[in-house]
Amino acid sequence: MSQTRPETPKSTRGVLLFNLGGPETLEDVYPFLLNLFSDPDIFRVPRLIQPLLARIIARRRAPKSREYYRQIGGGSPLRKITDDQARLLEEALNREKTDVHWKVRVGMRYAPPRTADALRELVDSGVNDLVFLPLYPQRSRTTTGSSFREALAEAKRIAPGLSVRTIPSWPVYPPYIQSLAETVGDALRAIPEEETVHILFSAHGIPEFLVTREKDPYEADTNATVSAAMETLHSLHPRRKLFHHLSYQSRVGPLKWLGPETRLELSRLAGEGVRHLVMVPVSFVSDHQETLYEMDILYGQMTRDLGYKTFLRAPSLNTRPSFINALASLLLEASDPPCASAPCFCSCGACPKQSG
């Protein structure tokens, strides 16, 4: 009589998805801004005076920021979208026939759910090892670097023996590029094929000195994403006349930021006679203030005033199935190396390969 072998217990692997977070209500705006300006990777001032300056700046900016959020429904949808991404990603990973059971949680940098709480939940649920996956396709010490630094410090405090792998960036990962190109294709369907279309990739800006002096790879990664996306778009739409441009948005403060600035690029293109424009949120994988207010409302009105015949914003990736599958493939492919997918990208010590 044959006996059925007992199944080998699966190990439990955790995934921590990183994003900035956002205020879910108008009352959350000030705490969110305070956390943002308290981060030394974002706001470079002497540590002793940073708490005071962060409070002053957050108070000054909160009224205007609340008005932006009021115009998009009273708060940011980022948490709900990211929670949905995590749930769908966990389901996709656990459909694969592997010896690993996956748990996916969200750690926001400046709003709930905070990274420490997500880490504690993963550890308490029996996670044996952990993968950090930033929802920033392009690397920067202001985003991925800041999140990694906080998460590694918290992991060392909460579970010193926890094995941690990282995926620092994925700017040209083919399944991601394919999904991004699909979003542009969705917009292109509304424009007759014989029309010339200009595609404006708009990325969140960072201060220029981070790239020129500190060798932050963000600009190079963003250019790589745009080039890969256009190669795919030309392949998918060989009969279309497509031209592309890259600009940067969301500038704050007196420092010089990466350029050209999106609003200035919109004016320039209108002056050159461009009539059909598709805007692509290239550094954002989810809808939030920068897409729903800045792109849809602010730039939407601007393009109407400038006389564009067509202005369309490519939909954000959000929970698009091809994007969720891209993240799952990325994790499955990168689950074996001790530090997955890409080398360390700055001197911040954020990657275990560098710090250990």
How large is the C-alpha radius of gyration of the chain?
A: 21
* Structural contact between residues 186 and 315, judged by C-beta atoms closer than 8 angstroms: yes
**Annotated binding-site residue numbers for Fe(2+):** 204, 290
Do 159 and 129 meet the contact criterion of CB atoms below 8 Å apart? no
Between CA 132 and CA 134 the distance in angstroms is 6
Nearest Cα to Cα of residue 131 among 120, 140, 122, 139: 122
Q: What is the DSSP letter of 73?
A: T
d(CA 140, CA 39): 14
3-state SS assignment for residue 321: helix
Distance CA 251, CA 256 (A): 9
Q: In sequence order, what are the residues at sequence separation of 6 or more whose Cβ sits closer than 8 angstroms to the Cβ of residue 194?
A: none
Residue 244: CB atoms within 10 A of its CB come to: 18
* Number of other residues whose CB lies within 10 A of the CB of residue 301: 11
d(CA 350, CA 356): 10
Binding residues: 204, 290
Instruction: Give the rounded distance of the alpha carbon of 106 from its chain centre.
Output: 13
